[in-house]
Amino acid sequence: QKEVEQNSGPLSVPEGAIASLNCTYSDRGSQSFFWYRQYSGKSPELIMFIYSNGDKEDGRFTAQLNKASQYVSLLIRDSQPSDSATYLCAVNRDNYGQNFVFGPGTRLSVLP
């Protein structure tokens, strides 16, 4: 079982819809969770992070964490074509540098 799993996609949603991206992780002791966005040919950029169970909202983005079920999700409301990118989930398992693990990413396509 991979440590951090994501559906590779592509996930296609119409403009204005809600895009839902999911991530599961295997280490129950994981402490912090990050969502990065990566445009084609560019470097990953942080969207948001979450440490505690529940929801965290930032503008059109909401991160949801459920440690009991070992999943973290990212909701994008009012999706725009500019949101079309690959979204990477990252999990920090503890306080050691090698335990910051990225998932393979989900490619999102927002159709005008």
Partner 1 sequence: NAGVTQTPKFQVLKTGQSMTLQCAQDMNHNSMYWYRQDPGMGLRLIYYSASEGTTDKGEVPNGYNVSRLNKREFSLRLESAAPSQTSVYFCASSVAVQETQYFGPGTRLLVL
In the complex, least distance from residue 93 CB atom to partner 1, rounded to whole angstroms? 10
Given the complex with partner 1, which of 31 and 53 has the nearer CB atom? Answer: 31
# residues near partner 1 by CB under 8 A: 23
Is residue 31 a contact residue for partner 1 (CB under 8 A)? yes
Angstrom distances, CA of residue 83 to CA of 37, 50, 60, 92, 98: 9, 20, 11, 25, 30
Give DSSP secondary structure letters for 1-19: --SEEE----EEEETTSPE
**Strands 54-58 and 85-92, bridge-based pairing:** unpaired
In the complex, least distance from residue 17 CB atom to partner 1, rounded to whole angstroms? 26
- Contact residues: partner 1, CB under 8 A: 8, 31-32, 34, 42-46, 49, 88, 90, 92, 94-98, 100, 102-105
